[in-house]
Structure 1
Amino acid sequence: MKKLTALLLFVLSASALAAAQAKPQALVFAYNAFAPWKTFDSQGQPAGPYTDIVRELARRMHLSLRFLPCPLSRCLAAMQNGKADLMIGVQNTPQRARYLDFLDPPFANDNRLAFYQRSGDSRDISHYSDLLPLTVGVVEGVQYQPQFDADGRIRRDAGPTVESSFRKLVAGRVDVLIDNEQQSALLASSEEFAGRVQRARLTLDNPHPNRLALARHSPLQPEKAEFEHALRAMLADGTISRLLAFERARIR
């Protein structure tokens, strides 16, 4: 009887050890730079409040964090094929929901969308209809606002980054660009673009809440409830509000 008990304890211990070893210990973060929320510091290290949110989430989940820098389209592909586990700030669409599991609760509400035109451009862009004769610079793969995204009348010129859209605007290759209000304000005031672009009067509301997305093919998918529990705790204890408020105050 003692031998049987010892054997059962050994089997249970071995099973528990194997399960612990099977659980992934690294969280692969598909990292598309999105200043000021996801960027790189002067040493080339990932920085910004969205980055810090994921760092804290990984800490609470007892996972090491590995960054996978990539443009948006490549990051989405990495999530789709299981090479990355998590993204932050990417918008939910029916197509993306096939391979991205958007976590609840949202960590923030999105802000407004701004338009920029060249300095000295006298055209008044204050109504949505003012966009129709123009070429609008957009970022490839980004979903902006339902009306704008579905409007086949809008002529779009897609680039890989917001910075490339600003450069096209300055060079006269597009008439106007659309971007997140806070990110565009930061870029417009940068050394490269200050005095060369001006904000148009038109603003669009962006109704999408911001969520973290876990890849449906991620080996961490069974831990979804734990991710959501940790996220809820970060909202409840003010961690997320503190990180986001610091950045918003800095760029005002």
Structure 2
Amino acid sequence: MRLAAVLLVAFIAMPALAQQGTETVAPLTVTVGANHAPPYRILSGGKESGLYIDIFRNIADRLGWEVIYREAPFRRVLRMMQMGEVDIMLGPLRTPERESMMAFVAPAFPPERKLFFYTDESNRITRYSDLDGKRIGVLEGASYFHRFDTDDQLQKEPAPRYKNLMLMMQKDRVDVVIAPELVGIYTVNNLDMAVSISPFFVPGERSYIAVAKNSPVLDYADDIRAALKLIKHEGVYEDLILRYMERREPEGKISGSGSAGEL
């Protein structure tokens, strides 16, 4: 086990040394396109944080990379990947359509349930068929699960950020908002809204570090995977996951003005 760890460290060190080992070779600079979606990706006041960014920062540090972040709505980031304006995207789900423009290099981020948030009891979702006739708030360009994504009979109302969607629900412009668990709860807590979570939910899938197929960073795909293995071996990855998971509200409620018994 110790020998394997030493070999892994040596393998990780090679690309960084190759980039920074002489005065004439500058470190690789990569541009990451990211939408502001706390607590995954937090881009505010020139500072970057959040679970996905913290994980990628640890990977980039071990590779000796310099990272530049460009913030834009999710759908715009997808377009930037397609146009070669950014190298990397953090957290997209793998879909056939996206595979045409990006390589899903490493399943670096944990799976997370997709939840249905509501404010009026008549909009409680207990089964998929309850979505019929509902105005459902969705993030522009996002993928949730195949049946939902391809269901043209559902009335989906898009917005560029989850904050916008929750406010739309508060103003009765949508009945239900679908969102990943952490970002949904984080958004509701920050808005101090009285919101409930439906018993019907969809299990999550792992999301990826994706590299644009027209980016030279794609040549470093093996290095990204090796660096991810290293931070997992060091315990850094697990520590980051636990730190963010512990910020969730206890099961059974959402903080703020929500009533007892709400998630």
Classify the TM-score, shorter chain: 0.7 to 0.9
Counterpart-to-counterpart distance in 2, 1:63 and 1:29: 12
> Please, what TM-score do these two structures have when normalized by structure 1?
0.84
Q: Map of 1:109-148 to 2, 5 A cutoff?
A: 109-118=110-119, 120-148=120-148
Amino acid at match of 2:211: L
User: Residue 200 of structure 1 aligns with which residue?
Assistant: 198
Structure 1, unaligned stretches of length 5 or more? 1-15
Report the Cα offset of residue 144 of structure 1. 0.2
SS in structure 2 at match of 1:114: strand
Question: Based on CA coordinates, which of the two structures has the bigger radius of gyration?
Answer: 1
Return the alpha-carbon distance in structure 2 between the equivalents of residues 123 and 250 of structure 1.
27
Question: How far has the Cα of 1:46 moved from its partner?
Answer: 1.1
Tell me the TM-score normalized by structure 2: 0.80
Could you tell me how far apart the structure 2 residues matched to 1:184 and 1:90 are?
A: 16
Count residues with an aligned counterpart: 229
Distance of 1:122 and 1:78 partners within structure 2: 40
Alignment counterpart, residue 37 of structure 1, candidates 24, 30, 40:
40
Cα distance between partner residues in 2 of 1:227 and 1:40:
22
> Deviation above 4 Å: which 4+ runs of structure 1?
20-24
Looking at structure 2, the residues matched to 102 and 232 of structure 1 have their Cα atoms a distance apart, in angstroms, of: 16
1:174 alignment partner, SS class: coil
What does 1:192-231 align with in structure 2 at a 5 Å threshold?
192-195=191-194, 197-206=195-204, 208-231=205-228
Deviations 1:158-191 (A, max 9, x none): 111111111110111111110001211122222x
Query: Quick check: 153-162 or 20-29, which moved more?
Result: 20-29
Checking the alignment, whether the CA contact within 8 Å between 1:127 and 1:202 is kept in structure 2 is: yes
Of the candidates 92, 99, 102, which is equivalent to residue 101 of structure 2?
Answer: 99
CA RMSD of aligned residues (A): 2.1
User: Partner residue of 2:181?
Assistant: 181
- Whole-angstrom CA distance in 2 between matches of 1:22 and 1:237: 28
Q: Which residue type is aligned with residue 155 of structure 2?
A: R
Query: Using the alignment, how far apart are the partners of 1:204 and 1:88 within structure 2?
Result: 21
Q: How many percent of aligned residue pairs carry the same amino acid? A: 26
Contact 1:32 1:70 in 2 (8 A): yes
In structure 2, the CA distance between the partners of 1:124 and 1:86, relative to structure 1 (3 Å rule), is closer
Gaps of 5+ in 2: 1-17, 250-263
